[in-house]
């Protein structure tokens, strides 16, 4: 049988056995601190500046046209509504009137057309 090498042991005051730990001391000089890398590809951020009106996609005329288009859509929906009737009555002239069947859809389509125009206008 081969004998095992015993590691050095040390007894403490309460008669328990502890093992000694090896301490490794580095005598080489300390290395220089490494500087963080700076990306040369990404541009540095500039301080926040005020947004110029030329930077906006839409200007005042675009928003005015959009408001007009939305107003026409709402007006067309209001033209289509109304006409309260009792549950036992049927008034064909009021339901199928020119205002509801022809005028209101035309006003809504004109409003949607103005909105599309205002979005795609340069």
Taking the C-alpha atoms of residue 117 and residue 65, their distance in angstroms, rounded to an integer, is: 8
Q: 117: Cβ–Cβ under 8 A, 6 or more apart, which residues?
A: 65, 69
Residue 47 lies in a domain: no
Ranges under pLDDT 70 in the chain: 1-18, 39-40, 42-48
CB < 8 Å & 24+ apart, contacts of 50-55: none
Residue 99 lies in a domain: yes
pLDDT of 48 reads 67
Number of domains composing the chain = 1
Residue 96 lies in a domain: yes
Residue 77 lies in a domain: yes
Residue 24 lies in a domain: no
pLDDT digits (tens, 9 = 90+) for 25-49: 777 777 777 777 776 675 666 666 7
Residue 45 lies in a domain: no
C-alpha distances out from residue 50 to 47, 53, 55, 113, Å: 10, 10, 10, 34
pLDDT of 93 reads 83
47 by Cβ neighbours in 10 Å (0-12 / 13-18 / 19+) ranks as exposed
Instruction: Count CA within 13 A, CB hemisphere, residue 34.
Output: 3
Residue 100 lies in a domain: yes
pLDDT digits (tens, 9 = 90+) for 62-72: 999 999 999 99
Residue 32 lies in a domain: no
Q: pTM, whole model, 2 decimals?
A: 0.54
pLDDT of 68 reads 97
* Domain interval for residue 111: 66-82+90-122
């Amino acid at each position: 049988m081969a004998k095992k090498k015993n590691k050095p042991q040390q007894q403490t005051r309460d008669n328990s056995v502890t093992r000694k730990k090896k301490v490794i001391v580095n005598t080489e000089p300390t290395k220089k601190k490494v500087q963080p890398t700076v990306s040369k590809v990404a541009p540095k951020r500039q301080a926040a500046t005020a947004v110029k009106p030329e930077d906006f996609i839409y200007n005042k005329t675009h928003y005015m046209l959009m408001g007009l288009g939305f107003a026409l859509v709402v007006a067309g929906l209001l033209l289509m509504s109304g006409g309260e009737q009792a549950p036992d009555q049927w008034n064909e002239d009021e339901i199928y009137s020119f205002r509801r069947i022809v005028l209101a859809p035309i006003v809504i389509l004109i409003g949607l057309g103005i909105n599309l125009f205002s979005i795609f206008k340069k």
